[in-house]
Amino acid sequence: DDNKTKVGDLLRFGMPFTIQVNPQLSSKDLRLTSFPLNPMQYSKISRQQIVLMSKDNSKDTLFMAVFKHISKRYEMEGEPIPVHTEVVIHHKRSGKSLYSESHPYPNDFGVEYEVSCFTQASAKRKQILKHEKAGTLTSQSSSKVEQKGNYWAFLALKQDKREGSKS
């Protein structure tokens, strides 16, 4: 699909992308996938929209990062995403945001945190009116401010130039 971001492309706000498992961790071509919430498919702990790794290569694997602050989200569309910057990651098909609760749950692998698609947001009427007046509120615009459970960042290791080691 030509609309998908290719490996090595500069990731920009609003650009569709997939998240794949590193080939060194699994020989399977697994991608982060989410299906719209329905009575048969939901996350086991929170009962929200399920997120899982799958061999699926459909539009259910497409996500998009948007600027964290909605007041500047429209202007940041198309700009490169800086490393270590908090962003909100939307599932393209459902429009829900990638979410992780701060409630750990123990399982056979240790303590983990569930990831689902759920937009944890607070409606601030003042913010909505401000954007309507400025003409920056569109049908694609979020009128609610996402909360910290929806904040993510793309992290990178720094390469030590002197010794070629990672720090």
Q: For the residues 24-40, what does the mean pLDDT come to?
A: 88
pLDDT in tens, 51-68: 999 998 899 999 999 999
Q: What is the mean pLDDT of residues 37-55?
A: 85
CA distances from 147 to 33, 50, 109, 160 (A): 22, 19, 28, 35
| Per-residue pLDDT at 84 | 95
pLDDT band at 134 (very low <50, low <70, confident <90, very high): confident
Q: Residue 96: its pLDDT value, please?
A: 93
Of residues 151 and 135, more confidence is placed in 151
Nearest CA to 90 among 55, 54, 141, 41? 141
